[in-house]
Amino acid sequence: MQKTLQSNGFKPHNNKSKELVASKFHSSIRNVRIVVNTGLDKNTGKAIAGKQAQFKAVFINNQSQWRTIATGSTFKGTGRFGSALTAIEVGAEDASTCKRCGAKNFKAKSGNVVCANACWANNGWSRGQKKNTSQNTYAEKVFGADTYAASQKRNAAARKHNRAASRSAAQKKQLRADSLATQKAEKEAQAKIDVTKYTTFVPGQLVKIVEPQQNTLSDFIGTVTKVEIVSDRPNDLLANVSVMWMHSGVTSRHNNYNSGSGTATYLVPVA
């Protein structure tokens, strides 16, 4: 597991518990880290009774607090490491975003989904309107911050609904057309960007790993043993690549794309 973590760019945490926990930045989203609880004793490397490995994605807010925005399924060993990592990265991308400040939303203890940056508490809810600090603080103390936030969200939705109801049929039609055109343009632009990131590998090919953070090419050479296509990506080009490293005989799995973020390792063919 430790070799798999290292080859995928994960760094171990200096946590107080005995469990080995590691994390790395998301391959494409700022302020998001992918954390893995390995279910292993960090000193002995042995499995901890009753624990399994599990990924989660956390958003680091503007107060350096970590808020969980997505959680993956549990697994044992490294067999599902690559696919589980891909799934949690997609889960982080799909997590809802605050429409006011652009931060990711997370589920609070109350069960409400709120902004990870708590922008509703810092900047008020109404656009162009100053926050009444004393009034809002009192309401939050009486009803609780999450309940108050939810009520304000419902009020904002009601105001939006009333504005929409007052639009003419022609205005509504034009708004829908504009929205669809924007979504189509964004999807096409994203597809063009994503396609350039992928490299095609085939079994038997020799590869090395690039470490973007150190800007170095590893000295170890591996042989591609299997390539598994992952669906729901542009043209189904994303793949999990299994590589057996010649120096150790250990097989690990990697993605076949260079995220360009400077935080994720990626494979390159050996000339």
pLDDT 10s per residue in the chain (271 long)? 888 898 889 999 988 888 999 999 998 888 899 999 999 998 888 999 989 999 999 999 888 889 999 999 888 877 788 888 999 999 999 889 888 888 899 988 888 888 988 876 655 444 444 444 444 554 455 455 666 666 677 767 766 666 666 667 777 788 778 878 877 776 665 555 456 678 889 999 999 888 765 556 777 899 999 998 876 655 677 888 999 988 888 888 888 887 765 556 788 898 7
Residue 112 forms part of a structural domain: no
Residue 136 CB neighbour total at 10 angstroms: 17
Residue 133 forms part of a structural domain: no
Domain that holds residue 225: 198-271
Residue 147 forms part of a structural domain: no
The pTM assigned to this predicted structure is 0.45
Last residue of a domain, one of 47, 77, 95: 95
End-to-end CA distance of the chain: 29
Residue 26 forms part of a structural domain: yes
Task: For residue 59, give Cα distances in angstroms to 92, 108, 119, 125, 248.
Answer: 9, 13, 14, 21, 35
Residue 259 forms part of a structural domain: yes
Residue 241 forms part of a structural domain: yes
Phi/psi of residue 76, nearest 5 degrees: -115, 145
Quick check: helix, strand or coil at residue 139? helix
Number of domains in the chain: 2
Residue 126 forms part of a structural domain: no
Write the CATH number for 203.
Answer: 2.30.30
Look-up of token digits 């085939």: 202
